[in-house]
Structure 1
Amino acid sequence: MLQPESDESYEVIWDTIPYPAFVISKSNIIVTANSAAETYCLSSIRHIKNKPVANYLGANSIILNSVDQARNTLVSVTLYNVEVFWLNKSSSTHDVISAPMNSSDENVLLLFHPHGMSKKMNRSLTHRSAARSVTGMAAMLAHEIRNPLAGISGAAQLLESSVSLDDKELLEIVKTEVNRVESLIDRFQTFGDLTPIKQEPVNIHDILSQAKRAAGAGFAQKIEIVENYDPSLPLVKGDPDLLLQVVQNLLKNAAEAVPVASGQIIIETGFKQGVKLNIGNFAKENLPLQFSIIDNGPGVPEQIKEDLYDPFVSSKSTGSGLGLSLVSKIISDHGGVVEYSRVNERSIFSVLMPVWAE
């Protein structure tokens, strides 16, 4: 049987665990923690060591109950999809595992598995497939519907010169509706575009600033827009026109969601290490660059959260349900993911993307 050569081997294994891990004593004191826990807690091991875990999780946390249960029963306890509230840190979703260290030791291993992020990314990949599944339908609609629409539009124009004033009003309604359907087909047909996107280095802050200026001059004139940028961000790889379309779409959704009198939108960027996307053949794409559109609106209705990026899903009575589907397709074509979260009474749409590499 292979034995570790020394305690140093255990230390290496301990610090290799990529998820936050803590050893909790009988009195629920943090005995030690690994490197991933330092990153998660935004604090050094020395600072959190020998402190009651209740100081960070709260005295009534369900996680403390699972630690006690694991200690008393000597059986591992797993809590799925738990929203973890750690001191001075935004809440995050994890699978939380409490496991007794051994039968004679009352210490418990507490592990936070970031299942929430993987679920979001898997959901985003599902939405990518959903968006692309309408490709054939888009081509069919463009062909089968445009032809009769052209006939209707032409007939309306011919009738315009030979009908009464009252009937002309009806013809205007016909022409307006034809134009609306054609516009909808144009948007829907975008899903059928399988042309590879152009890849070039893009300063995402230029894209965000351009979209902000356009929004401020148009649909978001009376809304406060705050920019919170990380100036050290590297360039992203992609198509600037398509990325601008994504940002404008997200900004428009945010503008329509916020309260009329106190609406606020925050555009935020940052560098987020450790997020990787499996792209097949055991290859992984790093997605460290993040930009987010944050608003103080009421959020996405619970009943459509799981299908948010599917075509024709919308919380707006007048919405086509294609906007976020298109956002998901464009970002997935760039090799990135888009995710939605709700934190501190604010809705957050975050886009994670790869950086430019020569």
Structure 2
Amino acid sequence: MPVLDRLKNSSLSVDFVPGLPTDREGQIAAAFLEALPLPALGVEGGGQIILANGAAQDIFLKSVRSIKANGILGLFSEDSPIHDLIERARTSGSPVSGRDMTLRGPSFGDFSCDITASPSEDGGFIALVVRPKGRGRDLSERMQDMAGARSMAALGRTLAHEVKNPLAGIRGAAQLLLRDADPGELELVNLIVEETDRVRRLIDRMESFGADPPIEFAPVNVHASLERVATLAENGFAREISVKRRFDPSLPDALGDEDQLIQVFLNLAKNAAEAAQSRPEGAEIILATAYRHGVRMRTPSGEARDLPLEIAFYDNGRGVAEDVKDCLFEPFVSTKPASGGLGLPLVQKIVNAHGGVVDFESEPGRTVFRVRLPLSHQRTGLQASRNK
């Protein structure tokens, strides 16, 4: 029996029709498929989906069981070019590729991708592999941003020290002028005071960004932290939109400082809620967790690090503007007029200090920010690297 067909007999998390026997080759193939970073589906002749991996679950915003239960017609809109691609692969009996295709479905927004449809050896099903395009920077690039974040932290501390003292002198002088100012000058002097206060608040934020607070490493139940954030969202900044949870209950503890991680999760949830509110109706955010086997990153120092825990924040807003995608984690870069542009750099700084990475993917109608963290049993190595 071909290896792909043996997947049907697997007992692993790539879920198929229950009750079939298991074999070792099928289990290995299923484990390999689940480790793929690209979404993969297996579609039978009648449109039944018999296979879906974790990456497909993430990109189509449906669980594996839901994807399979609804079939190909329930996953993609009727006018989707993927139906023609599947038919061409089935008719020709050979792999067929589609470039720059736009996928659309009831559970997710439009996004551009390349798709390969390959028939199994016996023609029993079509294997689909989706390659999303233009979905943010590579994770390895995010790891290289650590050095830049550390440089910005030092800059924040230096700038705060050098600017705050003369700023206080300017404000003090303006207050003295207020005593003798005539009515025509009061407005201008008050403007000096107000603008000085505004700059002081910005410097305070930069100082907090440049600070390097100690991390009390301990096991952290990320679901408890996310539930707290979700409750705050439902009763506050996301009161008018739908807040959904999609948690993997088997997820082990993360390693980190719970208060700091809650700050990260809260910031990302707020950003997602603000983005989703751009929709005239149907606005929603999703807080999700997953365990990613084999996710291994290399730090700028050359150290290989396992980061299997994934915490994701989805929204269905308009997406991140193209002109800021490559610099979104840099200080003072923001698409929000009232923002100082330090929220995401602070998120990245905290996550990096925890030995993790943060990245994002964005298209109109679908944006996801992912935080990837180490397991709690990696405590010793992380503490040692942080104390160097």
- TM-score of the pair, normalised by structure 1: 0.67
Query: d(CA) in 2 for partners of 1:297 and 1:142?
Result: 35
- Identify the match of residue 163 of structure 1 among 181, 191, 195: 181
Question: Alpha-carbon deviations, 1:248-272, whole Å to 9, x = none?
Answer: 3234334444159868553523323
Contact (CA 8 Å) 2:171, 2:196: kept in 1 or not?
yes
Contact (CA 8 Å) 2:41, 2:56: kept in 1 or not?
no
SS in 1 for 2:335: coil
Q: Highest CA radius of gyration, 1 or 2?
A: 1
Contact (CA 8 Å) 1:94, 1:115: kept in 2 or not?
yes
SS in 2 for 1:299: coil
SS in 2 for 1:134: helix
Query: d(CA) in 1 for partners of 2:127 and 2:219?
Result: 42
- Identify the match of residue 307 of structure 1 among 314, 318, 327: 327
1:289 is displaced (CA, Å) by: 3.6
Q: Return closer, same or farther for 1:62/1:338 CA change in 2, 3 Å cut-off.
A: same
Residues 107-126 of structure 1 mapped to structure 2, 5 A cutoff: 112=129, 119-125=137-143
Name the structure 2 match of 1:3: none
The reply to whether residue 325 of structure 1 matches residue 342 of structure 2 is: no
SS in 2 for 1:314: coil
The reply to whether residue 253 of structure 1 matches residue 271 of structure 2 is: yes
- Identify the match of residue 165 of structure 2 among 142, 147, 157: 147
Query: d(CA) in 1 for partners of 2:367 and 2:108?
Result: 13
SS in 2 for 1:318: coil
Name the structure 1 match of 2:240: 223
For structure 1, the 5+ residue unaligned runs are 1-6
SS in 1 for 2:376: coil
Once superposed, what is the RMSD of the aligned Cα atoms?
5.1
For structure 2, the 5+ residue unaligned runs are 1-5, 7-22, 58-62, 380-388
Query: d(CA) in 2 for partners of 1:157 and 1:336?
Result: 46
Query: d(CA) in 2 for partners of 1:38 and 1:162?
Result: 68
Question: Alpha-carbon deviations, 1:125-151, whole Å to 9, x = none?
Answer: 355454344234323322332232121
Query: d(CA) in 1 for partners of 2:54 and 2:271?
Result: 36
**Count of equivalent residues:** 342
Identity %: 29
Q: What letter is aligned with 2:64?
A: L
- Identify the match of residue 269 of structure 1 among 266, 288, 293: 288
Name the structure 1 match of 2:219: 201
Name the structure 2 match of 1:4: none
Contact (CA 8 Å) 2:140, 2:297: kept in 1 or not?
no
Residues 34-183 of structure 1 mapped to structure 2, 5 A cutoff: 42=64, 96-97=115-116, 112=129, 119-125=137-143, 127-183=145-201
- TM-score of the pair, normalised by structure 2: 0.63
Question: Alpha-carbon deviations, 1:67-99, whole Å to 9, x = none?
Answer: 89999999987667766669x875887654568
Query: d(CA) in 2 for partners of 1:290 and 1:263?
Result: 23
Q: After the TM superposition, which segments of 4 or more aligned residues of structure 1 sit over 6 Å from their partners?
A: 7-13, 20-25, 32-35, 37-41, 52-61, 63-78, 91-94, 98-102, 105-109, 115-118
Q: Return closer, same or farther for 1:129/1:81 CA change in 2, 3 Å cut-off.
A: farther
Q: Return closer, same or farther for 1:256/1:263 CA change in 2, 3 Å cut-off.
A: farther
SS in 1 for 2:324: helix
1:278 is displaced (CA, Å) by: 1.0
- Identify the match of residue 352 of structure 1 among 369, 372, 377: 372
Q: What letter is aligned with 1:323?
A: G
Name the structure 1 match of 2:254: 236
